[in-house]
Structure 1
Amino acid sequence: MANQLHKRGCLRSLVTSYPASEAEKFGVPKDRIHSLPHYEALQRILGRFSGWIPKLHKFEYWVKKRFENAAARHISENDDIFVGLSGVSERGLKRAKKLDIIPILERGSSHVEYQKRLLKEEVEREGIDIDMPSNKYVEKEKREYEKSDLIIVPSKFVKKSFLDKGIKESKVHNIPFGVDVEEFSPVEKKDDIFRVVFAGQMMLRKGVHYLLKAFSELDLPNSELLLIGSKRPEIDPYFKKYEGSFRFVGHKPQKELYKYYSQGTVFAMCSIEEGLAMVQPQAMACGLPLICTPNTGGSDLIREEKEGFVIPIRDVKALKEKIQWCYENRGECTEMGRRAKNRIHSNFTWDDYGDRVFKKYSEIINNNER
């Protein structure tokens, strides 16, 4: 977003916990960056002890509060709009209103109460503890929803979760994320293996355990399930249960992901909850059709049976049916992938995203001046 706003000449500053040198890699000039890197360092240190230290979430909450207090001080009375990320923007939204600046909240996942309910259901189904928002954090996010004039979300699924919680439709606007189509461009596939690809954290929230079960039960000849990403301890029992039925390559730098996508036949994303998984448009840009749940945001990217399939969450039977169809209909599957690539190029580049953001912000400012 900061990069796109800068390209259009309307970014005053980006306040971030990333080091300035890292933020510059996103195309934001150094003189526009206010870096508060010690908060990022603290957050990552605490993350390494997740599950080891009792009540670690209290320390994380403290770090986020300190960051948002520091970030809010960079808001200027000459600004038109303040855009804050959910979870770290309560103080910024409050200061923006005080200075008569339009307060906007970016929420990348579903309404925090909706999110927590879905995760709690998964804990009860699987009998495994996973990270989920604390009650204190939930209440903080809800205060941010109230303090903002507009909530920007990345998918229809997320928007619906807010409407279901009683937020006015006029307050929630959907702007899907984009992808760098130059970075994510296909290369030649090196073999004839039918390959289902997943990229993301190995965790229950991403529905990896359902994908493992479905692929293992299908037992398709000359096929492979390729898993890319870091792994959380909660998925270890499933890795052990389905050992031998998948290939796990661990975390890979984003700049290398196109190589792995290009060796796939279809991309599968079975998340229980998230906003819009950005690996989906990345894989589509590399020519892969998509099998996804509506809770991945994939419904915003594909048209049913044209660029892929949308299946219900937790539905292993439906997942098996779609994988089987792709396996038995390689030509049609390849054509789906071609349409997927074209759709991303024509609708979901980062410039497309920037155009939508800039248009919405301009409308808000114009309406506010009337």
Structure 2
Amino acid sequence: MLQDRNYSHCDGSDAESAPAVDIAVVGRFHGFDLARELQRYGMLNTLLSTYPSRYSNRWGVDRVHAKGEPFLEVLRRFGGRQKLIGNLKLQSYVATRHARNAARVARSSGADVFIGWSGSSLEALIAAREAGKITILERGSSHCNEWRALMREESRRFGQAFDEMYFFWQRELMEYELADFISVPSTFVRDSFLKHNVPAEKLLVNAYGVDLGAFRKVEKTDDTFRVINVGGFHRRKGSHYLLQAFAELDLPDAEFWHVGSVSPEMRPVIERYADERCTFHGHQPQDQLYKFYSQASVFALASIEEGMAMVQCQAMACGLPLICTTNTGGADLIGAEGHAGHVVPIRDVEALKARILHLYENRDLAAEMGRRAQARVSNGLTWADYGDRYAANIRRIVAERAQDGAAVGADVARANEAWQS
């Protein structure tokens, strides 16, 4: 559901001296949040999205900056359902058509910086580089080689075939090479790129944010210990491991809530492990999620691969401690182990059980960790904080380019860690 919100803006007094930025994104992701925050700094030139341009002000982006590709959005949302063309062919078409549209923007725009999303930016990156612009690639998940290895193994464990998606794999590898910088949301993602020989100075680490107006704690109406999980219930999310852990604990006066869609592949898992203590609420509007978070005791996420799940920040803003895997970006959000939650290895049902049981048996500690979580997101993990860090990175990169003739990224590593201090 699209929500109207009011956002404050800076006065733009330094807009004339600010670097100009073009952003191109398929769908929305956090592209509108980034655009809004760069607009606050007077940096936003163009936001190209598959969303109709008239929707931009619902996320605080002035319509004058917005260019829409609604035909691609219709294809992306409904083409696969209607079986107009094969789903992979459809995704490929949307990605390349968007990238070519973004390339036209990059060629004609007077912006200094181009930011595009991985998998749908190849042609635009080429055009932007030819135009002498600084290029930043947004990658929300681990390096595509790491992602493939993790998901291939999970498919094998599930006894299912893995879709190699060679088209997107090859595009992404070329995008990694072409981009001057790659912006990633967590140290987990950064480390995956380092593992695959991407230079550290090319990586910008910047944790996503949360809208504190939309996600807030309200009073819990009962004393039931409740584990909540929000998002898709499927393989990549490790949903089967989490439900198995809850079921095997068999705790009195405890419940499991899932909010979001359920993949058909998970139906046998639900039939095996779910009982009357497990409630599947289905998809819910974003503006209602805080009510579900607030009735829980702990947020748990067992993902096999996820760069930084934004639902973790949302849960923390609603006063919940986290239990998450190493591959969710949650370790960056929690800080020190045990401060605002716990981090466990992927696919480790026993570790999930141990952490859930610990918080079940220590309700006061769980509540205190939830208060710490709420304080942590309020000071450094809002969208404004995200925008501040992004704008600082852009200014630094542009200054380095002007001074040295190339974006050398001399002090990027220090900037990457600054937000955690």
Q: TM-score, normalised by structure 1?
A: 0.97
Q: For the residues of structure 1 that align with 2:85 and 2:188, how far apart are their CA atoms?
A: 33
1:177-232 Cα shifts (integer Å, max 9, x gaps): 00011211100000010000000001110010001100000011111000000122
Amino acid in structure 2 at the alignment position of 1:19: P
Change (3 A) 1:34 1:77: closer
Structure 1 match to 2:155: 123
SS of alignment partner, residue 301 of structure 1: helix
Q: How does 1:1-370 map to 2 (within 5 A)?
A: 1-48=34-81, 56-75=87-106, 76-129=108-161, 132-244=163-275, 245-302=277-334, 303-370=336-403
Shift of 1:26: 1.1
Shift of 1:78: 1.6
Q: Contact between 2:237 and 2:301, CA under 8 Å: does it hold in 1?
A: yes
Q: For the residues of structure 1 that align with 2:316 and 2:122, how far apart are their CA atoms?
A: 36
**Coordinate RMSD, CA, aligned:** 1.4
1:33-54 Cα shifts (integer Å, max 9, x gaps): 00011101111123426xx799
SS of alignment partner, residue 364 of structure 1: helix
Q: Contact between 1:281 and 1:301, CA under 8 Å: does it hold in 2?
A: yes
1:52-106 Cα shifts (integer Å, max 9, x gaps): 7995312321221112111221123521100001111011110111110101100
1:154-197 Cα shifts (integer Å, max 9, x gaps): 00000111110110111111100000112111000000100000
Q: For the residues of structure 2 that align with 1:90 and 1:181, how far apart are their CA atoms?
A: 34
Q: For the residues of structure 2 that align with 1:348 and 1:144, how far apart are their CA atoms?
A: 28
Q: Contact between 2:245 and 2:352, CA under 8 Å: does it hold in 1?
A: yes
Amino acid in structure 1 at the alignment position of 2:135: P
Q: For the residues of structure 2 that align with 1:46 and 1:333, how far apart are their CA atoms?
A: 45
Q: For the residues of structure 2 that align with 1:290 and 1:133, how far apart are their CA atoms?
A: 32
Amino acid in structure 2 at the alignment position of 1:267: F
Q: Contact between 2:79 and 2:85, CA under 8 Å: does it hold in 1?
A: no
Q: Contact between 1:176 and 1:276, CA under 8 Å: does it hold in 2?
A: yes
Q: For the residues of structure 2 that align with 1:129 and 1:247, how far apart are their CA atoms?
A: 30
Q: What is the number of equivalent residue pairs in this alignment?
A: 367
SS of alignment partner, residue 392 of structure 2: helix
SS of alignment partner, residue 140 of structure 2: coil
Q: Contact between 1:3 and 1:27, CA under 8 Å: does it hold in 2?
A: yes
Q: TM-score, normalised by structure 2?
A: 0.85
Gaps of 5+ in 1: none
Q: For the residues of structure 2 that align with 1:322 and 1:70, how far apart are their CA atoms?
A: 48
Q: Contact between 1:129 and 1:234, CA under 8 Å: does it hold in 2?
A: no
Amino acid in structure 2 at the alignment position of 1:155: S
1:105-133 Cα shifts (integer Å, max 9, x gaps): 00011111110110000011111346x55
Q: Contact between 1:46 and 1:60, CA under 8 Å: does it hold in 2?
A: no
The range that moved more, 154-163 or 18-27, is: 18-27
Q: For the residues of structure 2 that align with 1:352 and 1:65, how far apart are their CA atoms?
A: 32
Change (3 A) 1:263 1:106: same
- Identity fraction in percent: 45
SS of alignment partner, residue 160 of structure 2: coil
SS of alignment partner, residue 99 of structure 2: helix
Amino acid in structure 1 at the alignment position of 2:165: S
Amino acid in structure 2 at the alignment position of 1:229: G
Q: For the residues of structure 1 that align with 2:156 and 2:164, how far apart are their CA atoms?
A: 16
Gaps of 5+ in 2: 1-33, 404-421
Q: For the residues of structure 1 that align with 2:95 and 2:279, how far apart are their CA atoms?
A: 36
Q: For the residues of structure 2 that align with 1:316 and 1:188, how far apart are their CA atoms?
A: 31
